[in-house]
Amino acid sequence: MSGDRRPIGIFDSGVGGLTVLVELRKRLPGESFIYFGDTGRVPYGIKGKETVTRYSIEIVNHLVVSHDVKALVVACNTASALAFSDLKKIYRIPLYDVVTPAVERALKATKNGRVGVIGTRSTISSGAYRDALRLRNGKVRVYQQACPLFVPLVEEGWVENEVTRMVASEYLSPLVAQRIDTLILGCTHYPFLIPVLKQFLGPSVQVIDSASSVAEEVASSLTSHGMKAKRRRGRVKYLVTDDPERFAEFARERVGEVVEEIERVSL
């Protein structure tokens, strides 16, 4: 038995979803993946719901029709917050967002019921994390902070320098003042900034990484539904909408991914 050997699709506005890919490959080494980075239209976090939903449908259509993915991870918090409900209505394959598993993990982690959420402007404005947290626990206090500069800093590779530290201090100070003990990284770009964030937050604040949270959910779901591929090692193909060489360099330098198959596509 070979199991379901079709690939799993992952899409993000740019390089942020690589954090999800890395976590998925740790847990599901036998799976193949198609990673779609919409690098030509990044960032999504400053765009509205209609635009983000249109982009998301275009990408998912491409992954389903052209690559026959068996499941799909929306590895973009903005798309998860603004477009996921629409995607669920359209597609019949298993779909996974990055909001739900991070929320559940944060509620298990918090001791004082004071949870911080950082994300793009669109994600924070949508209230997706705040509403999901309060739906599950009406007593939790949620403190949100939009961090619009974090995505371009990561995309430029500025993950550990003085400018990034200054920006992090500006964004996180209001949350620290509220005595949060748990912080949800509401953007898959943000795990690249964890060393800088932890320097400012200190050891008393638990950082919830949506990448590892959703990877655990996908691995568990595929196993329980008998959809895992039964092979020793899968492969990864990358699709981008701008500059494959720059993407491949970032993937190699930041997450240790050797990009062997990469293609620039137009939608």
Looking at the domain assignment, is residue 3 inside a domain?
no
- The model's pLDDT over 181-202, given as tens digits with 9 standing for 90+, comes to 999 999 989 999 999 999 999 9
Mean pLDDT, the chain, whole residue set: 95
| Range of the structural domain that residue 73 is part of | 8-97+212-264
- 8 Å CB contact between 21 and 35: yes
Indicate the pLDDT class of residue 68, thresholds 50, 70 and 90: very high
- % of the chain exceeding 70 in pLDDT: 99
Do β-strands 8-12 and 71-74 pair in parallel, antiparallel, or remain unpaired? parallel
224 and 240 fall within a common domain: yes
177 and 117 fall within a common domain: yes
108 and 171 fall within a common domain: yes
- The model's pLDDT over 131-154, given as tens digits with 9 standing for 90+, comes to 999 999 999 999 999 999 999 999
Looking at the domain assignment, is residue 1 inside a domain?
no
CA 180 to chain centre: 22
Indicate the pLDDT class of residue 1, thresholds 50, 70 and 90: very low
Number of domains in the chain: 2
Once rounded to an integer, what is the mean pLDDT over residues 158-165?
92
CATH code (residue 130): 3.40.50.1860
Nearest partner of 256 among 14, 11, 21, judged by Cα = 21
Alpha helices by DSSP H, 16-127: 18-27, 49-67, 77-82, 84-90, 99-109, 121-126
- Report pTM: 0.90
Which of the residues 69, 187, 214, 251 is marked catalytic? 187
Instruction: Answer with the one of 210, 235, 256 that is the final residue of a domain.
Output: 210
Is 70 exceeded by the pLDDT of residue 128?
yes
Once rounded to an integer, what is the mean pLDDT over residues 121-140?
96
Which of the residues 60, 73, 75, 76 is marked catalytic? 76
Give the span between the Cα atoms of 215 and 217, in whole angstroms. 5
Query: What pLDDT does residue 2 have?
Result: 62
Identify whether 147 is a catalytic site residue. no
249 and 173 fall within a common domain: no
